[in-house]
Copies of this chain bind each other. A is one copy, B any other.
Amino acid sequence: MTSASKIQGRLLYAQSGGVTAVINATAAGVIEAARAKGVPVYAARNGILGALREELIDTGKESKAAIAALRHTPGGAFGSCRYKLKSLDANRAEYERLIEVFRAHDIRWFLYNGGNDSADTALKISQLGKAMNYDIRCIGVPKTVDNDLAVTDCCPGFGSVAKYTAVSTLEASLDVASMADTSTKVFILEVMGRHAGWIAAAAGLAGEGADAPPHIILFPERAFDETAFLAKVKATVERVGWCTVVASEGLRNAEGQFLAEAGTRDAFGHSQLGGVAPVLASLVKERLGYKYHWALPDYLQRSARHLASKTDADQAYAVGQAAVDYALAGMNAVMPVIVRSSDMPYRWKIEPAPLHKIANREKKMPSGFLTRDGFGITAAARRYLAPLIQGEAHPPHGRDGLPKYGRLKNASVTKKLPTFEH
């Protein structure tokens, strides 16, 4: 290891992929830790694209208060992007450009805050740096509401969307319960989760027992069984008086088609994207005749910083700090991951894990987390999920009744290189 004191240079931080309620808490952890060590931090504007385009932001122009406010501000403060670098073979020029930009701005540490794609990119850059004889330390920093990163026990961003989903399920169910005698009998909440049902599973924390909502959870891990679903809706309405259903957007039928795409067509005859909830609602209405309502919170669920989990916000900050510690300690191609040492009381710590164990892998929900009928979560799932939504992390509110979310200046760094066509 190289001691930090011998290295001069700057640290570059970039946000990647879908943002979360707490990705900026990670940014705060990074910047505050680096400042404490006297290391200047640049951020890439709009993620890795900013690095390719040499669109860099000097976070040194931001006040201490502005950086502190990131800790409670949702969205991605420097911009993020959906852009996956091709393989080294397919587009070596992009990787070489990154090294060029790093060299031009004396970037010696690169922290890439994202999911498994980003871990892969960080890994490749670290390898190319070596090949190109440029001394760069690459650290992946975990972030994803999907909770699908390997090695880490959970992913910063997930705990808050989990809390949003559990609380929303509870609240909407209280509403439905009080109106069911003459109004809505079936309420369907559609949540994110294209490939894995982690978010849907979290809705299960809203209640426990057969009569408590949610009565039915539909996971992408299980093919949709229309007959079993309708039978359970009917039995629940007859027993409880109403029924709350939580459905993953990624729910598929037995043929593997997304239900959201199989169901509806707009007036032009085009498939109506986005919405498994209305498809299920139509089915309930057609077959059972129950009055329904459905909700699709979409981005509201992953940006709801006002309802963040304190556990999640703390972990998001901690991985940012740890990433700086690892980088300055000379580590390379690692990610700070969350290690759980106890469920109850919940105890966790941060440790480094090699990126090659995380890059491009996907953590599935254990099959032991789903009940036998596939419509609920087990005690094991509750043990895992419960700590992740614990604690409140209310943002400060202004006198206007709105959360006081921060806003950065995002001052551009002067470019030094010719434009790069990507």
Contact = CB atoms under 8 A, between A and B. Distances in A.
Interface of A: 15, 18-19, 21, 46, 49, 73-83, 163, 166-168, 170-172, 174-179, 181-184, 187, 189, 205-206, 262-268, 270, 272, 274-275, 278-279, 281-282, 286, 293-300, 302-307, 309, 311, 386, 389-392, 394, 397, 399-403, 405
A303 B181 contact: no
A79 B19 contact: no
29 contacts: A18-B179, A49-B182, A74-B171, A75-B171, A76-B178, A77-B178, A79-B177, A80-B178, A80-B179, A81-B181, A168-B304, A170-B402, A171-B304, A172-B298, A172-B303, A174-B303, A175-B302, A205-B402, A263-B266, A265-B265, A275-B278, A293-B299, A295-B300, A296-B296, A307-B307, A309-B401, A390-B401, A391-B401, A392-B401
B278 A267 contact: no
A344 B177 CA distance: 39
Contact of A274 (B167, B265, B278, B299): B278
Given A79-B181, A205-B402, A275-B275, 10 more contacts: A18-B183, A76-B175, A167-B403, A171-B403, A264-B265, A264-B267, A265-B266, A295-B296, A295-B299, A296-B297
A263 B304 CA distance: 30
A107 to B, nearest CB: 21
B268 A182 contact: no
Majority DSSP secondary structure for residues of A touching B: mixed
A76 B179 contact: yes
User: What 7 A-B pairs are tightest by C-beta distance, nearest first?
Assistant: A75-B174, A76-B178, A295-B298, A389-B401, A175-B303, A171-B303, A390-B401
Contacts of A263: 266-267
B300 A171 contact: yes
Nearest to A398: B390
A182 B83 contact: yes
Contacts of A73: 174
Given A15-B178, A307-B306, A268 B297 contact: no
A299 B175 contact: yes
A84 to B, nearest CB: 11
Nearest to A392: B397
A389 B398 CA distance: 11
Contacts of A405: 170-171, 174
A186 to B, nearest CB: 12
A170 B83 CA distance: 25
Contact of A402 (B74, B167, B172, B286): B167
Contact of A179 (B82, B176, B177, B311): B82
A269 B175 CA distance: 31
Contacts of A76: 175, 178-179
A407 to B, nearest CB: 9
A267 B302 CA distance: 30
A211 to B, nearest CB: 12
B282 A266 contact: yes
Contacts of A205: 400-402
Nearest to A80: B178
